[in-house]
């Protein structure tokens, strides 16, 4: 039982740690460590379990719940379950667990200790450097945060001014639009009147023409029979204009002269077809209000018409900065036949001046409003960024709006912290969303060790894809590995200085072993 190479080994029953040595006194009755019973000392390590807590068999496999202590000089001492004593498998690097199994174990403690120290040393270096980097990150993040904070504050001040400016310009615009509107209406009204007069004139001429045409026998009267020759005037649309129908159109008279025809004309003029070549029935064009060239001020757009489109338009506007937005929805009527000889005359100089003034006011107002919207967006973006949990010291801030990639055999994985994780086949194919930023999800004592991204693309008969990102201390910010431990549940290992802990002030000398 004595380890010959370690003369400082203190004698005690097999498997007992030094800290419990005092409970095992040779040739004195042994009391189970849970106090449940006392047995004679020869029952300690006699390969039969007497104590419920297993404490009488620290060096055998007799107790199901016992544990065995190996000193592992040169490495770390440890406890193993009693069931691993003499099971043919070397568990303790000092080989003490296999004293009767025939297993050929070699003492590997020194080697393990050396390796461990190397690893620890390396880790310590990384941690140290990483921690320094982390301090920079924190500083920068704090600076950045302050900058952003003050920027937001500034912008909010500016925004207030801009708000006021917009209001002022709105008033200016509205003030300019009133006289514009009145002048345009005046112009329109005059035009309407003029058109009515022209229309009347034309109608009279047509009536006279029709009278002459209808008066086949040129007796100065249009008779019922003469009217009947114009079947298109048939009221019941049976194809013939009966005598009674014709008489009805003529107000009951047998024949009419030019002046009485004036009262017949309104009954027939809509259907009347001239027999001679004629311009089509002359409908006076409605005046074309030129609303194409004059965008309505936003508030004037009628609600039922374009509210939705308008919203869409603005959403697009946020993203698309080029002028390639689809045609504004206000363009409804295509250019009408402008060969219309009766187009509205252009505005007179006074009206045009009022219109120009109003247009300038509108432009000024819109420009100001756009500036306000942009500022709002900026403020919102900064506020969104500021609202993220970037760690207790904002050390994760630098990851924001960055992306990190790792190329594996088949795929390119892309991690954009606080945003999303995706996977793209290396040789073409579409990208798969492996999850969008959810939350920090590490253990309670340090939630910043794991990131959870979820609600990615759905899996067949399975959940939506999700990704856990495991953060470890490293000098560099880099994705080190990806895996899919469970179908559609991805694991990304990611090193960053941001999780490096302040190195404890430890020296790297081997552990103080009980024996040394």
Partner 1 sequence: TGSSCESWDVKLLQVSTFAVDRGNFKTCDQSAFCKRQRALKPGQSPYRALLETLELSDSRLTLQLINDNNKVHLLLELYRLQGNMTRVKINELKPLRPRFEVPDVLIAEPPTEPLSVLSKDDNGVVLSLGAKNQRLIVSARPFRLDIMQGPEVLLSLNSRGLLAFEHLRLHKDTDKEEDGLWEETFKSHTDTKPNGPTSISLDFSLPGVEHVYGIPEHADDLKLKTTDGGDPYRLYNLDVFQYELYNPMALYGSIPVMLAHNTQRTMGIFWLNAAETWVDISSNTMLDFVQGSSEKPQTDVRWISESGIIDVFIMLGPKPSDVFSQYASLTGTQSFPPLASLGYHQCRWNYNDQEDVKSVDQGFDQHDIPYDFIWLDIEHADGKRYFTWDPHKFPQPKEMLQGLMDKRRKMVAIVDPHIRVDSGYKIHNEITSKDFYVKNKDGRNYEGWCWPGNSGYPDFTKPEMRAWWSSMFAYDQYEGSMENLFTWNDMNEPSVFNGPEVTMHKDALHGKWEHRDIHNIYGLYVQMATAEGQTQRSGGVERPFVLTRAFFAGSQRYGAVWTGDNAAEWDHLKISIPMCLSLGLVGVSFCGADVGGFFKNPSTELLVRWYQTGAYQPFFRAHAHLDTTRREPWLFGPENTALIREVIRQRYALLPYWYQLLYQAHKTGMPVMRPLWVDYPKDTATFTIDDEFLIGSDLLVHPVTEEGSRGVTAYLPGAGEVWYDVHTFQKHNGAQNLYIPVTLSSIPVFQRGGSIIPRKDRVRRSSACMENDPYTLYVALSPKKFAEGELYIDDGHSLNYDTKKEFIHRSLTFANNALTSSNLCPDCNFLTSSWIEKVLILGASKPSKVLLKMDGKETPVDFEFDTSMSVLTLRKPGMNAGADWTLLLQ
Interface residues toward partner 1, by CB under 8 A:
46-48, 61-62, 64, 81, 83-84, 87-89, 409, 459-463, 483-489
Cα→Cα distances 264→114, 215, 398, Å: 122, 14, 89
Comparing CB distances to partner 1, the nearer of 17 and 463 is 463
Comparing CB distances to partner 1, the nearer of 180 and 489 is 489
Instruction: Please state, in angstroms and rounded to a whole number, the distance separating the CA atoms of residues 400 and 418.
Output: 6
- Catalogue the long-range contacts made by 399-404 (C-beta closer than 8 Å, 24 or more residues apart): 399/477, 399/496, 399/498, 402/477, 404/477, 404/478, 404/479, 404/494
Comparing CB distances to partner 1, the nearer of 301 and 406 is 406
CB of 488 to partner 1, least distance (A): 7
CB of 489 to partner 1, least distance (A): 7
Question: Which of 192, 379, 369 lies closest to 298 in space, CA to CA?
Answer: 369
Comparing CB distances to partner 1, the nearer of 72 and 86 is 86
Taking the CA atoms of residue 275, residue 278, residue 284 and residue 287 in that order, the dihedral angle to the nearest 10 degrees is 160
Residue 508: CB atoms within 10 Å: 9
Question: Which of 202, 358, 228, 213 lies closest to 281 in space, CA to CA?
Answer: 202
Comparing CB distances to partner 1, the nearer of 63 and 415 is 63
CB of 64 to partner 1, least distance (A): 7
CB of 462 to partner 1, least distance (A): 4
Query: 349-387 and 109-214 are packed helices; what angle lies between their axes, rounded to 10 degrees?
Result: 160
CB of 515 to partner 1, least distance (A): 27
CB of 420 to partner 1, least distance (A): 22
CB of 126 to partner 1, least distance (A): 22
Cα→Cα distances 211→230, 231, 245, 260, 274, Å: 12, 16, 18, 11, 11
Question: Which of 362, 395, 337 lies closest to 173 in space, CA to CA?
Answer: 362
Comparing CB distances to partner 1, the nearer of 29 and 462 is 462
CB of 401 to partner 1, least distance (A): 32
**Structure tokens, 52:** 């419920």
Comparing CB distances to partner 1, the nearer of 119 and 325 is 119
Instruction: Please state, in angstroms and rounded to a whole number, the distance separating the CA atoms of residues 441 and 419.
Output: 15
**Structure tokens, 91:** 């568990």
Comparing CB distances to partner 1, the nearer of 105 and 264 is 105
CB of 102 to partner 1, least distance (A): 9
- Three-state secondary-structure class, residue 128: helix
Instruction: Please state, in angstroms and rounded to a whole number, the distance separating the CA atoms of residues 236 and 227.
Output: 16
- Three-state secondary-structure class, residue 415: strand
- Three-state secondary-structure class, residue 110: helix
The count of C-alpha atoms lying within 13 angstroms of the C-alpha of 335, restricted to the half-sphere facing its C-beta, is: 5
Radius of gyration of the chain (CA): 48
CB of 130 to partner 1, least distance (A): 25
Comparing CB distances to partner 1, the nearer of 112 and 353 is 112
Instruction: Please state, in angstroms and rounded to a whole number, the distance separating the CA atoms of residues 299 and 171.
Output: 13
Comparing CB distances to partner 1, the nearer of 81 and 179 is 81
Comparing CB distances to partner 1, the nearer of 245 and 489 is 489
Comparing CB distances to partner 1, the nearer of 290 and 410 is 410
Instruction: Please state, in angstroms and rounded to a whole number, the distance separating the CA atoms of residues 200 and 262.
Output: 12
Instruction: Please state, in angstroms and rounded to a whole number, the distance separating the CA atoms of residues 451 and 389.
Output: 11
CB of 481 to partner 1, least distance (A): 10
CB of 321 to partner 1, least distance (A): 40
**Structure tokens, 286:** 């409605």
């Amino acid at each position: 039982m004595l380890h010959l190479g370690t003369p400082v080994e203190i004698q005690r029953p097999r498997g007992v740690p030094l800290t419990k040595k005092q409970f095992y006194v040779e040739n004195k009755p042994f009391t189970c460590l849970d106090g449940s019973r006392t047995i004679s000392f020869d029952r300690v390590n006699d390969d039969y379990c007497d104590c419920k807590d297993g404490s009488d068999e620290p060096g055998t496999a007799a107790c199901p719940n016992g544990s065995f202590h190996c000193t592992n000089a040169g490495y770390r001492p440890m406890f193993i379950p009693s069931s691993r004593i003499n099971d043919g498998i070397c568990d303790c690097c000092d080989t003490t667990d296999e004293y009767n199994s025939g297993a050929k174990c070699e003492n590997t403690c020194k080697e393990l200790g050396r390796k461990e120290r190397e690893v620890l040393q390396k880790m310590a270096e990384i941690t140290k450097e990483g921690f320094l980097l982390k301090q920079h990150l924190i500083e920068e993040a704090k600076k950045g945060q302050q900058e952003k904070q003050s920027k937001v504050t500034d912008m909010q001040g500016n925004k207030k001014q801009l708000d006021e400016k917009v209001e002022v310009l709105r008033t200016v615009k509205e003030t300019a639009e009133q006289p514009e509107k009145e002048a345009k209406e005046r112009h329109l009204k005059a035009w309407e009147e003029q058109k009515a007069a022209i229309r009347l004139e034309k109608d009279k001429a047509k009536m006279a023409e029709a009278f002459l045409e209808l008066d086949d026998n040129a007796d100065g009267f249009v008779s019922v029979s003469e009217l009947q020759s114009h079947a298109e005037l048939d009221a019941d649309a049976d194809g013939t204009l009966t005598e009674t129908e014709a008489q009805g159109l003529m107000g009951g008279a047998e024949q009419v002269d030019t002046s009485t025809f004036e009262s017949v004309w309104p009954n027939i003029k809509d259907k009347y077809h001239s027999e001679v070549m004629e311009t089509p029935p002359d409908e006076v064009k409605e005046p074309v209000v030129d609303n194409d060239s004059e965008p309505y001020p936003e508030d004037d757009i009628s609600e039922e018409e374009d509210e939705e489109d308008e919203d869409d338009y603005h959403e697009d506007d946020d993203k698309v900065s080029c002028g390639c937005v689809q045609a504004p929805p206000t363009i409804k009527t295509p250019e009408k036949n402008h060969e219309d000889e009766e187009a509205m005359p252009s505005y007179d100089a006074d009206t045009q001046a009022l219109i120009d003034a109003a247009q300038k006011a509108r432009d000024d107002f819109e420009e100001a409003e756009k500036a306000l919207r942009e500022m709002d967006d900026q403020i919102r973006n900064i506020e969104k960024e500021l609202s993220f949990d970037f760690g207790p010291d904002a050390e994760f801030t630098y990851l924001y709006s960055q992306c990190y990639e790792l190329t594996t055999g088949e795929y390119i994985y892309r991690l954009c912290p606080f945003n999303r994780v995706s996977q793209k086949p290396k040789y073409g194919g579409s990208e798969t969303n492996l999850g969008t930023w959810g939350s920090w999800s590490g253990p309670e004592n340090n939630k910043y060790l794991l990131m959870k991204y979820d609600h990615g693309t759905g899996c067949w008969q399975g959940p939506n894809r999700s990704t856990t990102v495991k953060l470890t201390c490293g000098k560099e910010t880099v994705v080190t590995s990806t895996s899919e431990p469970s179908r559609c549940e991805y694991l990304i290992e990611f090193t960053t200085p941001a999780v490096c802990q302040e190195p404890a002030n430890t020296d790297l000398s081997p552990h103080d072993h009980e024996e040394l």
